[in-house]
Structure 1
Amino acid sequence: MFLVLGWVWLWPGDGVGALRVGVVVVGGGPVGLLAACELAAFGVGVLVVEVRGSASGRPRATTLHARSVQSLVRRGYLGGLAGVGAGAGGGNGGFHFAGMPGLKISVPVGEPVAVLKCEQEVLERSLEERARAAGVVVLRGHRVSGVGEVAGGVRVSAVGPGGRAVEWVAEYVVGADGARGVVRELAGFDSRSYPATVSAMAGDVRLEVAGDLVAGWHRTPRGWVVVKDVAGGGVRLRTLNCEGASGVRGVPLSLAEFREEVSWIVGRKVGMGSPRWLSRFSDFSRLAGCYRKGRVLLAGDAAHVHFPIGGQGLSTGVLDALNLGWKLALTARGRAGEGLLDTYDRERRPAAQRVIDHTRAQLELMRPAAELDPLRALFGELLAGAPEGGVLASMVSGQDTVLPPRGADSSPLEGSFLPNVPLMTGEGRTDVIGLLARGRPLLLLFGAGAGVGAGGYEARARGWAGLLRVVRAEPVASVPYEAVLVRPDGYVGWAAGGGGLAPALRAYFGEGGDAGAADAL
């Protein structure tokens, strides 16, 4: 006997009252909810377990960089938030590097904005609404207390309101429960850590003297104060004290301590009151030794933590979820190629390491020591003279990410992100964004004669017809290939001239021949 709860199939299991679930996602922030949405889009039953009773109203991440925006829009997210076609050679341009202005981030024509400012709470609520509409069960107010593999699955224990204990046995578990989450430790993941060397604080307050601190990034001989005006006449302040790591951890930050820190860094008394929220943080960094242990996987801050200079944390987690979602969904449904799920670690962990490395490098430039002035001056000149979309801009925005090829004979296009080129198909004008919105892998055939015949591309792909969408389009000068396989996350999985199509399809989607097994897309 079973109970259908949304799209999650639950039934008593193991004789001890455990409930069976397709995938349990621990963590109801943007990364966890996005992973849940992607899984549900492929018809996988998903349960999200979150300790918070509701979406957090505290300001958290506010920046989504170009590659995460591009990827989200390709999957049909961010409706109304990110305009397409704003990237006519410059995007929205101004950003910073190590607190220095002048970083010009551009995107190709036809792509969404280069930098999207969006409060994490807004994104989280939007994703939760979409997840629930797709049949995801979001269970709030439950704290996970145990994670361990059992025969054929993973047992997840949690404590709900009033101390009520509940257990599930899932096929897979995704730990997206943040930097202080429990899944990483409970499942026994190893990590490499970089100890804290600085202390930092943040908070929304009201200045006693309006305009006492001007909006912007301000370096002093003692550190940094970053000032941003917020609605209602208040300011959002962030401090960086480079004297060393704070010995205080886990203790709530008081207004008096925050006021003293700001005043010390600025070098004069700064009066403030009416705090809306206050917090402390540091440059402590950590990277999980792997992103998968059997049936447990990590994503977002649960897998990687770094100093938040550059606003790359949310973007990195979003790209984790988009990379993992379709791979885990196909694996759970028995439609994945052997080893597909392991490519999640190989593709996303190096990207996180790179973010950790260059945020640590930016922090070194921010240290107020006078001997670093020539280096800062050099970087200032490089920023001023760099073209839009230069090396630093591509790195910060994630647009320089190229995935490792499957083999030595892979096409040069494989592993790159396919730009949003306009396309003319038999159904009319469209573009890459429009074709990927449903989340299905896409085989683009350019030209009426591309791979025609019994041994052509269309014939070779027929065994995957229930999953793969095949679209014929007129040739495009910027994509000089007869055929291109585009993964659901927007990256090129194969292109003509890089080995056979059928081996590539098997590597991603397993053995073909089951054209009737259409996915719920």
Structure 2
Amino acid sequence: MDTTADVVIAGGGPNGLLLACELSLAGVRPIVVERLPERSDQPKANGIVGQVVRLLHQRGLSDQDVPMPVFTFGAMVLDLVELDPNPLYGMGIKQPALEELFESRALELGVEIRRGHELAGFTQDADGVTLELTGPGGPYRLRTRYLAGCDGAHSLVRKHAGIAFPGVSSADIVSRIAHVTVPGAVIRTERAEMEVPGVGTFGLYAWHRTERGAYALLPVSPGVLTVGTIEWDVPAPGDDVPMTVEELSQSLARVHGKEVPLASPAGPGPHMLRRLNGRDTRVAASYRDGRVFVAGDAAHVHSAMGAPGLNLGLQDAVNLAWKLAAEIRGWAPPGLLDTYDAERRPAALRVAMHTQAQLALSAPGPAVTALRELFGELLGDEVTRGRIAALMAGSDLAYPMPAPPHPLLGHFLAELPAESASRARPMLLDATGGLRVRHGRVDVVPSEGPDCVLVRPDGYVAWAGGTPDKSLEQALETWFRESLEVPA
């Protein structure tokens, strides 16, 4: 049997790699096992939208920290230009590049990444988890204190742990997406439009709904676009029939109403070309089974409308990492690991709700058209736009905190001192100039703000107030088993 590891992460995608980085920052050395022998270059997500963009900026992993002026909700325009504050941030990075970024940081931090190693099964007991793996040298066992499943929607970790995956399936929906060229088209990215001679002008960067379905066009490189369609109640080939550009062209013609010439891009690729028959919206019944945890797509799947997947999964990783590290390093307060499920499952349920709502708003039919007319009127109200933007960002959900009420309590705090935030350190922003902590688990940072603020490593506020009192002591004990040092 291989030597014992503190944490083994099954899955070397963005969620697993960020979890490894965060564990390393907290003083734990994880092992990542990934069945693919090399990092995947298959095109998937084109960027990140949501609150995690600001957290990645804190970690020094993104220089993009500007809110998005326009987005969409249910194929309707969400105008955020005059929204103040605007909580919806975006990071324009393709998933292969994101994985490369996280892997580079993980290797810098000393993370061991075993590519070409596949998890086949595991058993757990009171002291740890024994993994059955297959690597380039054949089968072997690995003992670990904890196992984190970041192994996707068909997660072996989730299934083997016996964690239920309840939700709903919509069999009548067919989605198609591909990288294509449009012969003769003139693409004007500065005006967010594409003109096709003899056909008309198309808007870019957003979903557009018609009475026959929805479509979207997104430029990805000079002359190449990602084109996607969604159709309801239209027969589609089975999963065993390869997707073609011609099939997408026919789907776009049905949805848009006019034929649009599409062709495969030149060059080696890889080029996206896939069909999805049906839609699943599911959230794991629990994010934990003993010493086994699930995160990312292993814990939740949903419609991709609004690009919420990475925002949700990466925040799972950041939430779990510092709590798991505290347990391993021996100072975790009682019940700390249980708060991972208590905080992240409600976040996933909200994403499941709003993606289903967006899909319903994009469906064809006169009843939906009437609903969209009403919803469009509501979007004219700034308060409504702000609520939708916060919902999409994931910033509308406050974690439950056992502390006196405060506007910041339970919310993510984006503006933090760079040194502590980049190292994922908990911090006490001290507005009094005289606070000290006993065990050094929390960085005390001078603050010019009106209030003192206790911030967890994931950026969420655990306590805030003008005068440090017994409730601050309780918060320090609850989250960090820490206390204030009383001057002699």
User: If the TM-score is normalised by the length of the shorter chain, which range does it land in?
Assistant: 0.7 to 0.9
- The match for 2:149 is 175
- The question of whether the paired residues in 2 share the 8 Å contact of 1:338 and 1:510 is answered with no
Equivalent position to 2:26, from 42, 45, 50: 42
Give the alignment of 1:388-403 within 5 angstroms: 390-403=386-399
Structure 2 alignment gaps of length 5 or more: 186-194, 266-270
> C-alpha offsets along residues 382-409 of structure 1, whole Å, 9 cap, x if unaligned?
32443696111111112212111226x4
> C-alpha offsets along residues 95-154 of structure 1, whole Å, 9 cap, x if unaligned?
011111134178877x99822221111111011000011110111122211122135111
- The question of whether the paired residues in 1 share the 8 Å contact of 2:9 and 2:33 is answered with yes
Q: Check if 1:271 corresponds to 2:242.
A: no
- The match for 1:99 is 75
* Residue range with higher mean Cα deviation, 502-511 or 371-380: 502-511
Structure 1 residues 346 and 244: alpha-carbon distance in aligned structure 2, compared to 1, 3 A threshold: farther
Q: Check if 1:305 corresponds to 2:301.
A: yes
Structure 1 alignment gaps of length 5 or more: 1-16, 421-430, 515-521
Identity over aligned pairs, percent? 37
Give RMSD over aligned pairs. 2.6
> C-alpha offsets along residues 426-462 of structure 1, whole Å, 9 cap, x if unaligned?
xxxxx534442221110121034xxx5xxxx52xx21
Equivalent position to 1:32, from 6, 9, 16: 16
Shift of residue 331, structure 1, vs aligned partner: 1.0
- The match for 1:145 is 120
Instruction: Give the Cα–Cα distance (whole angstroms) in 1 for the partners of residues 333 and 447 of structure 2.
Output: 27
Amino acid at match of 2:75: G
- The match for 1:126 is 101
Q: What SS does structure 1 have at the residue aligned with 2:181?
A: strand
Give the alignment of 1:103-118 within 5 angstroms: 103-104=79-80, 114-118=89-93
- The match for 1:23 is 7
Instruction: Give the Cα–Cα distance (whole angstroms) in 2 for the partners of residues 106 and 76 of structure 1.
Output: 28
Shift of residue 76, structure 1, vs aligned partner: 2.7
Equivalent position to 1:293, from 272, 289, 292: 289
Instruction: Give the Cα–Cα distance (whole angstroms) in 2 for the partners of residues 272 and 65 of structure 1.
Output: 28
Instruction: Give the Cα–Cα distance (whole angstroms) in 2 for the partners of residues 341 and 289 of structure 1.
Output: 16
Q: Check if 1:367 corresponds to 2:363.
A: yes
Q: Check if 1:348 corresponds to 2:324.
A: no
Amino acid at match of 1:143: E
Amino acid at match of 1:484: V
Q: Check if 1:72 corresponds to 2:41.
A: no
Q: What SS does structure 2 have at the residue aligned with 1:207?
A: coil
- The question of whether the paired residues in 2 share the 8 Å contact of 1:97 and 1:103 is answered with no
- The match for 1:417 is 412
State the TM-score, normalizing by the size of structure 2.
Answer: 0.87
- The question of whether the paired residues in 2 share the 8 Å contact of 1:65 and 1:398 is answered with no
Shift of residue 215, structure 1, vs aligned partner: 4.3
- The question of whether the paired residues in 1 share the 8 Å contact of 2:51 and 2:88 is answered with no
Equivalent position to 1:488, from 457, 460, 470: 457
Q: Check if 1:82 corresponds to 2:53.
A: no
- The question of whether the paired residues in 2 share the 8 Å contact of 1:50 and 1:141 is answered with yes
- The match for 2:208 is 218
Amino acid at match of 2:475: A
- The question of whether the paired residues in 2 share the 8 Å contact of 1:105 and 1:389 is answered with no
Give the alignment of 1:56-71 within 5 angstroms: 56-71=40-55
State the TM-score, normalizing by the size of structure 1.
Answer: 0.82
- The question of whether the paired residues in 1 share the 8 Å contact of 2:88 and 2:392 is answered with no
Instruction: Give the Cα–Cα distance (whole angstroms) in 2 for the partners of residues 469 and 25 of structure 1.
Output: 28
- The question of whether the paired residues in 1 share the 8 Å contact of 2:246 and 2:262 is answered with no
Instruction: Give the Cα–Cα distance (whole angstroms) in 2 for the partners of residues 304 and 37 of structure 1.
Output: 22
Equivalent position to 1:331, from 327, 331, 353: 327
Instruction: Give the Cα–Cα distance (whole angstroms) in 2 for the partners of residues 103 and 51 of structure 1.
Output: 42
Q: What SS does structure 1 have at the residue aligned with 2:155?
A: coil
